[in-house]
Amino acid sequence: MCDNPSPYNPYQQLDRYIDGLPYKKENLIAILHHAQQLFGYLPDKVQRHIAARLDIPSAKVYGVVSFYSFFTMKPRGKHVVNVCMGTACFVRGAEKLQQEIEKQLGIKTGQTTEDELFSLDSLRCIGACGLAPVMMVDGKVYGRLTHPEDIKQILDEYRESLAGDREPALKEGTPS
């Protein structure tokens, strides 16, 4: 998996990746993972492109994209906030955490802020149950989030990093 957004045409990059695979159709899911890294999401156009390259019906590509929750067909914000909704977090107040973030960002889970800075989602267990309730912003895990001020501080850090026009230290960046 590649980490850095590329200055080159993402379609060319995707094609190069597909060409390098020993099997094509069997690697549809890996190709979609790669495409989502390159484009940030999987719009219609990208799905059709992949279908044409693999010589399979675009309905099949759509079927796979819509099946797996990891794939998204809507553009995401610059930073993706994921609230862990695993059972351990749930019994330690994940719902409250989710409501608090929704309040602070002014969006519902599954939506993106108007300034396209944040998308909010939930996921099922990242295995940091000792730190419950937790959220993950891009690749980074934040735990023991029971105070609204702590959440605000974390979100503000990401806001500021944008204002200062520099990337925060992230593990997995979403190419813009």
Partner 1 sequence: MKLKTRDDLNNLKSQHQVLLQNRRSVQPVSVSEAQGKPRQVMVCGGTGCHASNSPQIVEELKAELQRRGLAEQINVLQTGCFGFCEKGPILEVHPDNVLYLEVSPKDVPELVEEHFVQGKPLERLLYQDPNTEERIASDLPFYHSQMRIALRNCSLISPEDILEYIAVDGYQALAKVLFAMTPESVIDVIKQSGLRGRGGGGFPTGLKWELTRNNEANNRYIICNADEGDPGAFMDRSILEGDPHSVLEAMLIAGHTISASHGFIYIRAEYPLAIHRLEIAIKQAKQYGLLGKNILGSDFCFDIEIKYGAGAFVCGEETALIHSIEGTRGEPSVKPPFPAQQGLWGKPTCVNNVETLANIPPIILKGGDWFAGIGTEKSKGTKVFALAGKVNNVGLVEVPMGTTLRQIIFDIGGGIKHHKTFKAAQTGGPSGGCIPTKFLDTPIDYESLIAIGSMMGSGGLIVMDESDCMVNIAKFYLEFTVDESCGRCTACRVGTKRLHEILTKITEGKGTLDDLDQLEKLGKTIKDSSLCGLGQSAPNPILSTIEYFRDEYLAHIVDKTCPAGVCKSLLRYDITDKCKGCTLCAQNCPAGCITGSPKEPHSIDQERCLKCGACLEKCRFDAIIHH
Using CB under 8 A as the binding rule, whether residue 70 contacts partner 1 is answered as yes
Nearest distance from C-beta of residue 23 to partner 1, angstroms = 8
Nearest distance from C-beta of residue 169 to partner 1, angstroms = 11
Contacts by 152-155, CB closer than 8 A, 24 or more apart:
152/104, 155/81, 155/101, 155/104, 155/105, 155/118
Residues 22-51 that bind partner 1 (CB under 8 A): 25-30, 32-33
Using CB under 8 A as the binding rule, whether residue 17 contacts partner 1 is answered as no
3-state secondary structure 45-112: HHHHHHHHHHCCCHHHHHHHHHHCCCCCCCCCCCEEEEEECCHHHHHCCHHHHHHHHHHHHCCCCCCE
Using CB under 8 A as the binding rule, whether residue 106 contacts partner 1 is answered as no
- Interface residue with partner 1, options 14, 35, 38, 64 (CB under 8 A): 64
Using CB under 8 A as the binding rule, whether residue 140 contacts partner 1 is answered as yes
Going by their DSSP bridges, the two strands 79-84 and 118-123 should be labelled as parallel
Nearest distance from C-beta of residue 165 to partner 1, angstroms = 25
Using CB under 8 A as the binding rule, whether residue 164 contacts partner 1 is answered as no
- Which tokens hold the place of 25? 């159709």
Stretch that binds partner 1, among 12-20, 41-49, 136-144, 162-170 (CB under 8 A): 136-144
- Interface residue with partner 1, options 78, 92, 118, 151 (CB under 8 A): 92
Nearer to partner 1, 9 or 99 (CB): 99
Going by their DSSP bridges, the two strands 140-142 and 135-137 should be labelled as antiparallel
Nearer to partner 1, 88 or 117 (CB): 88
Nearer to partner 1, 140 or 159 (CB): 140
- Cα of first residue to Cα of last residue in the chain, in angstroms, is 17
